[in-house]
Chain A
Amino acid sequence: MSAAAAEAAQARRAPAAGSAPVIDLRRVNAVREAIQAGRLKQARRTTLGGNDAIAQAALEAGARFFGGYPITPSTEVLEYAARHIMGHGGSYLQMEDEIAGIAAAIGASLGGVKAFTATSGPGFSLKQENLGYACLVEVPLVVVNVMRGGPSTGGPTDPGQSDVMQARWGTHGDHPIVAIAPATVQECWEETVRAFNIAEKYRTPVILLPDAKVAQMKEPVLLPPLDLVPVVNRPYPSGAPEDYEAFGQTASGVPPLAPFGEGYRAHFTGLYHNRKGLPTKDVRLIDQLQKRIHAKLETKEARADILKTESFLAEDAEVLVVAYGITARAAKDAVLEARAQGVKAGLLRPITLWPSDAGAFAPHLARAKKVVVAELNLGQYRLEVERLACEAARAAGTPPPPVIGIHRVDMRLIAPRDIHQEIVR
């Protein structure tokens, strides 16, 4: 058995971790919170680049295969994997193209090894077909897409937030997707570990969506000791091999997934399939399959694991700013400035962009007199905020607040001043 497979097998036999991990990744600033609460007494202190933090977190979350292709501004992830992953008992391949990069990662994941790939806008477009395959075949996988400008080659080295909708709807067909946008290097690490845990626990691809600025900056980080990194593994079948249903109905909605070679044989196909994975034309089974892959991410537990929004001075906000990634950092300064002037401004920062966190947004949207959405595109997430605002208003029986966009696509960042002006206007 390969080292990576043996390690994965060992992890499955390890006793289940205690109910409360020291670090609860569902919380914003999870590591800092654990230190402040006195739960975490030791840590690794270092400075990292965003992309390095992502790659390091992937390996610390248990990733043992990387398949990729060089593309600015995500290449450091590939380079980090090239330096370190073999030393951890894993392997990597720089593939012949972007499509092959994600394909190889899916192949490795089906083999039973946690896997990831990394890319940026144009490469992300090329990966979309196989991303859809991973959704329907329910393959745990993390895709890192470092956002730059677009469409086309655009500005390869400059920041953008232009793949928000591509992350949501890039592949064809109705499909669930999880997309996470970190805003700091510390968060690059925390959210990558969380991305792997969601991918494994729910058998689904997760997209990590840092913008180029966050991926390229270097910041101090505090990381837990290796044995306290909260790692989750995919569900393993418990019954006899002949009863194994790789696409069966379970209480959680997530069927178990056995690595190849251990007797639990199954078929994996992008065709609509039955519980054993074999192609089917049974309309009832097809309907069940498609609805189940959505429903498994909508349970109470799944929502608690997946949705994550930071509320920054938003509790009584009349002017609500919505921003994510690097732009949210500008928004925080803008909100602080407005507060200093006595304006009741606050920020909602979706860390998980998809699925959107309607529950966290609703009370703030119902209270807000004005909503400002700032992002480095021409209004991709603003559409979602508008939808949520209308929904919240309908529920509250009030007219929806105006939703104003601050958008920039000239490769420069939105500055605190730009957002502050709009808050006080």
Chain B
Amino acid sequence: MNAPFVCSLEMPDLRRTQMRRNIWCEGCGLGNMQRSIQVALMRQLGRRLGVDYMDPAGVEAIKNNVAMVSGIGCTSRMPGHLDFNTVHTTHGRSLAFASGLKMARPELTVVLAAGDGDIFAIGGNHFIHAARRNLDMTLIVYDNHSYGMTGAQHSPTSPQGEVGASAPYGVFEPSFSLIDLAIGAGAGFVAQGAVTTLQEHQDQLDELIAEGLAHKGFSFINVLGFCHTGWGTRNKRAESFRYRQHIEQQIASVERWREMTAEERARLKPLGVIHRVARPDLQNTPGYADCLARSRKAVEAGREEVEAVSPQPETDLRAKRTSLRFAGSGGQGVISAGEIALAAAVRAGKNGVFMKNYGPEARGGEAYSDVTISDGEIHFPQSDRLDVLVALNQETFDKFRKEVAPDGRILANATAVRETYDDPRVIASPIGELLAREVRPPKRELGINILALALALDYFGLMSREAVTAAVMKSVGKKNPALNQKALATGFAEADRLKGL
């Protein structure tokens, strides 16, 4: 019914019993394409899975191994007909669905059937990236240079000048070459077949699809097809046979085509395997294997230890909260200071919330982070009034001084904060000088955050030295223990000096 041709009738039928009558118009070339896909799958998968497709168990194995994915349109109704694991997705997105499926289940044979509008207009982006990404999948496109299902509107492959429902006076947009696009985007296997009146083209299509399936990586087979009931009726090719003949006049074997003049080449379309390069498919590249190994290590390293826990007295809902802000210039590490303060608080058995601050003010020269700590519950983690501000430079001192509570305190890095406006809340400490003199970092201000953190948490009596030291040595201290030990010691010593004043 689909095609007026006899094609490999002795082979088993892979269609669903409930779907033996397809939804397509009589004479549509989609029937030919569907038949070729079946033949190719049996040949190729039979070989790969080591089963005999003439044996019912072999057919069963093939059907179970195939996942067919499609988008929207006439072609995309194909998976409904076929007795595989089949997914009829949304318009244009079949390659994206299939990519996730293939990543999750590499052992499945993933085949896609799509129309030109589906895959090259609405789905164009996914096509480019599927070709680039090179997952081991096979895409077979029925290129009827129109939207068949919605009624003969023009598509990205419609010939200029022909008439469509949405191009009533002729298509005025240029079309593009799918073959060039596929090669440019990195597809490793690119072939073109055609649906004509000739058995040789049907046989060739079987073979091209089988070769595409055999190719490891992304393979693309474009099938020059037609829509006689839609585009055909508007362009004097309303009979299937006539349209098939029309296609016959436009094709040449790729070997012949390569010998032709540029002028002839522009008029004719090559048939056969046009481009083939072997490269490992995405899941079999050395890079992928390396990522796998490194991710395993990261998971191992990240395993959290289990500790004993026991029922606790209910936490105080209205316990006092202390809010701290670490502020300075971008490179001074005030964000990690806040994170370490939170870790120290938790070590000290307290509750805490840390918030890094995005926004234009953080993107530019200044950065800050807020930490709220408490012995009880912390509901709203932001305070109207800061209890402690640690300002490492003049800009942040000026900016955030107004946000400090009347009875709050400001630890100012006197090395950089020259003007304190006689603010009685200010504790001045030459943090920058101390760093240079005592810690002597290899890079200019490395460790200033740790020095300031140790100084602030100790001087204001917020946390024990042990908790602060442990939190530092478990984080940044891992990388640079000597420097951070020195920064901590300098901070604590400065706290002692200030307390003695």
With beta carbons under 8 angstroms apart, the residue of A72, A101, A271, A413 that contacts B88 is A271
Cβ B306 vs Cβ A330 within 8 A: no
Q: Identify which of A37-45, A201-209, A232-240, A381-389 touches chain B.
A: A37-45
Cβ B307 vs Cβ A329 within 8 A: no
Cβ B339 vs Cβ A111 within 8 A: no
Cβ A333 vs Cβ B380 within 8 A: yes
Q: Is A243 an interface residue (CB 8 A)?
A: no
Cβ A87 vs Cβ B309 within 8 A: no
Q: Is A315 an interface residue (CB 8 A)?
A: no
The digit string for B262-297, where 1 denotes a CB below 8 A from any CB of A, is: 000000000000000000000100000001100111
The interface on chain A, measured as residues whose beta carbon lies within 8 A of the other chain's beta carbons, has a size of 88
Cβ A157 vs Cβ B359 within 8 A: yes
With beta carbons under 8 angstroms apart, the residue of B77, B86, B384 that contacts A268 is B86
Q: Is B129 an interface residue (CB 8 A)?
A: yes
Shortest distance between the CB of B168 and any CB in chain A (Å): 29
Q: Is B54 an interface residue (CB 8 A)?
A: no
Among residues of A, the one whose C-beta sits closest to the C-beta of B93 is A103
With beta carbons under 8 angstroms apart, the residue of A45, A108, A213 that contacts B103 is A108
Cβ B346 vs Cβ A47 within 8 A: yes
Cβ B307 vs Cβ A43 within 8 A: yes
* B16, B99, B339 interface centre (most CB from chain A within 10 Å): B99
- Cα–Cα, bound, A332→B299 (Å): 37
Cβ A278 vs Cβ B16 within 8 A: yes
* A35, A38, A44, A219 interface centre (most CB from chain B within 10 Å): A219
With beta carbons under 8 angstroms apart, the residue of B126, B306, B339 that contacts A225 is B306
Among residues of B, the one whose C-beta sits closest to the C-beta of A270 is B90
- Cα–Cα, bound, A112→B343 (Å): 39
Contact residues of B between 381 and 426, Cβ < 8 Å to A = 381-382, 384
- Cα–Cα, bound, A66→B213 (Å): 26
Q: When A217-B353, A219-B353 are in contact, do A97 and B64 touch as well, CB less than 8 Å?
A: no
Contact residues of B between 12 and 46, Cβ < 8 Å to A = 16, 18-19
Among residues of B, the one whose C-beta sits closest to the C-beta of A84 is B299
Q: Which residues of B contact A130 (CB under 8 A)?
A: 89-90, 93
Q: When A40-B309, A84-B302, A276-B18 are in contact, do A218 and B100 touch as well, CB less than 8 Å?
A: no
Q: Identify which of A191-199, A257-265, A296-304, A361-369 touches chain B.
A: A257-265
Cβ A95 vs Cβ B311 within 8 A: no
Q: Is B9 an interface residue (CB 8 A)?
A: no
Shortest distance between the CB of A277 and any CB in chain B (Å): 8
- Cα–Cα, bound, A329→B302 (Å): 30
Cβ B296 vs Cβ A95 within 8 A: no
Shortest distance between the CB of B318 and any CB in chain A (Å): 6
Q: Identify which of B105-113, B218-226, B250-258, B325-333 touches chain A.
A: B105-113
Among residues of A, the one whose C-beta sits closest to the C-beta of B19 is A278
Contact residues of B between 57 and 88, Cβ < 8 Å to A = 60, 63-65, 67, 69, 77, 79-80, 83-88
The interface on chain B, measured as residues whose beta carbon lies within 8 A of the other chain's beta carbons, has a size of 77
Q: Which residues of B contact A333 (CB under 8 A)?
A: 379-380
Cβ B100 vs Cβ A329 within 8 A: no
Cβ B306 vs Cβ A111 within 8 A: no
Cβ A65 vs Cβ B306 within 8 A: no
Cβ B310 vs Cβ A35 within 8 A: yes
- Cα–Cα, bound, A68→B351 (Å): 33
- Cα–Cα, bound, A234→B226 (Å): 43
Q: Identify which of A1-9, A161-169, A399-407 touches chain B.
A: A1-9
- Cα–Cα, bound, A36→B315 (Å): 12
* B19, B105, B310, B312 interface centre (most CB from chain A within 10 Å): B105
Among residues of A, the one whose C-beta sits closest to the C-beta of B76 is A269
Cβ A2 vs Cβ B352 within 8 A: no
- Cα–Cα, bound, A43→B90 (Å): 44
The digit string for B300-328, where 1 denotes a CB below 8 A from any CB of A, is: 10101111111110000110000000000
Q: Which residues of A contact B84 (CB under 8 A)?
A: 265
Q: Is A133 an interface residue (CB 8 A)?
A: yes
Cβ B83 vs Cβ A106 within 8 A: no
Cβ A111 vs Cβ B105 within 8 A: yes
Q: Is B453 an interface residue (CB 8 A)?
A: no
Q: Is A391 an interface residue (CB 8 A)?
A: no
Cβ A43 vs Cβ B309 within 8 A: yes
Contact residues of A between 309 and 346, Cβ < 8 Å to B = 329-330, 332-333, 336, 340
- For the A-B complex, the count of residue pairs with Cβ-Cβ distances under 8 Å equals 253
Q: Is B354 an interface residue (CB 8 A)?
A: yes
Q: Is B298 an interface residue (CB 8 A)?
A: yes
With beta carbons under 8 angstroms apart, the residue of B18, B108, B298, B351 that contacts A111 is B108
Cβ A96 vs Cβ B125 within 8 A: yes
Cβ B309 vs Cβ A261 within 8 A: no
Q: Is A266 an interface residue (CB 8 A)?
A: yes
Cβ A104 vs Cβ B379 within 8 A: no
With beta carbons under 8 angstroms apart, the residue of A44, A129, A259 that contacts B304 is A44
- Cα–Cα, bound, A129→B90 (Å): 8
Q: Is A417 an interface residue (CB 8 A)?
A: yes
Q: Which residues of B contact A41 (CB under 8 A)?
A: 308-310
Q: Is A360 an interface residue (CB 8 A)?
A: no
Shortest distance between the CB of A325 and any CB in chain B (Å): 12
* B69, B106, B384 interface centre (most CB from chain A within 10 Å): B106
Cβ B80 vs Cβ A279 within 8 A: yes
Q: When A270-B89, A329-B381 are in contact, do A222 and B104 touch as well, CB less than 8 Å?
A: no
Q: Is B187 an interface residue (CB 8 A)?
A: no
Q: Is B98 an interface residue (CB 8 A)?
A: yes
Q: Which residues of A contact B79 (CB under 8 A)?
A: 267
Q: Is B165 an interface residue (CB 8 A)?
A: no
Among residues of A, the one whose C-beta sits closest to the C-beta of B304 is A44
Cβ B129 vs Cβ A96 within 8 A: yes
- Cα–Cα, bound, A265→B19 (Å): 14
Cβ B85 vs Cβ A35 within 8 A: no
Q: When A43-B306, A84-B299, A333-B379 are in contact, do A93 and B64 touch as well, CB less than 8 Å?
A: no
Q: Which residues of A contact B351 (CB under 8 A)?
A: 220
* A5, A45, A96 interface centre (most CB from chain B within 10 Å): A96
Q: Which residues of B contact A413 (CB under 8 A)?
A: 380, 382
Q: Is A254 an interface residue (CB 8 A)?
A: no
The digit string for B430-455, where 1 denotes a CB below 8 A from any CB of A, is: 00000000000000000000000000
Q: Which residues of B contact A111 (CB under 8 A)?
A: 67, 100-101, 104-105, 108
Q: Is B128 an interface residue (CB 8 A)?
A: yes
Q: Is A308 an interface residue (CB 8 A)?
A: no
- Cα–Cα, bound, A330→B379 (Å): 7
Q: When A44-B306, A46-B304 are in contact, do A99 and B354 touch as well, CB less than 8 Å?
A: no
Q: Is B96 an interface residue (CB 8 A)?
A: yes
Q: When A133-B90, A279-B80, A332-B380 are in contact, do A263 and B64 touch as well, CB less than 8 Å?
A: yes
- Cα–Cα, bound, A103→B283 (Å): 19
Q: When A110-B87, A220-B346, A268-B87 are in contact, do A42 and B307 touch as well, CB less than 8 Å?
A: yes
Cβ A84 vs Cβ B295 within 8 A: yes
Shortest distance between the CB of B482 and any CB in chain A (Å): 26
Q: Which residues of B contact A415 (CB under 8 A)?
A: 380, 382, 384
Cβ B299 vs Cβ A88 within 8 A: yes
Shortest distance between the CB of A132 and any CB in chain B (Å): 9
With beta carbons under 8 angstroms apart, the residue of B125, B126, B309 that contacts A222 is B309
With beta carbons under 8 angstroms apart, the residue of A2, A222, A276 that contacts B105 is A2
Shortest distance between the CB of A187 and any CB in chain B (Å): 13
Rank and list the top 3 A-B pairs by shortest CB-CB distance, nearest first: A104-B100, A87-B299, A107-B100
Q: A41-B308, A43-B306, A104-B103 are in contact. List 8 more A-B contacts (CB 8 A).
A: A45-B307, A103-B99, A104-B97, A106-B97, A130-B93, A216-B356, A267-B86, A415-B380
User: Can you list 5 residue pairs at the A/B interface with Cβ under 8 Å?
Assistant: A47-B343, A84-B298, A103-B96, A217-B353, A279-B77
Where the two chains meet, the residues of B that have a C-beta atom closer than 8 Å to any C-beta of A are: 16, 18-19, 60, 63-65, 67, 69, 77, 79-80, 83-90, 93, 96-108, 125-126, 128-129, 133, 283, 291-292, 295-300, 302, 304-312, 317-318, 339, 342-343, 346, 351-356, 358-359, 379-382, 384
